[in-house]
Amino acid sequence: AQSVTQPDIHITVSEGASLELRCNYSYGATPYLFWYVQSPGQGLQLLLKYFSGDTLVQGIKGFEAEFKRSQSSFNLRKPSVHWSDAAEYFCAVGTGNSYNTDKLIFGTGTRLQVFP
Partner 1 sequence: NAGVTQTPKFQVLKTGQSMTLQCAQDMNHNSMYWYRQDPGMGLRLIYYSASEGTTDKGEVPNGYNVSRLNKREFSLRLESAAPSQTSVYFCASSEVAAAEQFFGPGTRLTVL
Question: Under DSSP, is residue 81 helix (H, G, I), strand (E, B) or coil?
Answer: coil
Beta bridge partners of 76: 21, 65
94 near partner 1 (CB under 8 A) = yes
Contact between 11 and 111 under an 8 Å Cβ cutoff? The reply is yes
Q: How far is the CB of 111 from partner 1 (least distance, A)?
A: 10
Q: Which stretch binds partner 1 (CB under 8 A): 12-20, 52-60, 78-86, 99-107?
A: 99-107
Q: What is the CA radius of gyration of the chain?
A: 14
- Residues near partner 1 (CB under 8 A) are 9, 32, 34, 36, 41-46, 49, 90, 94-96, 99-104, 106-109
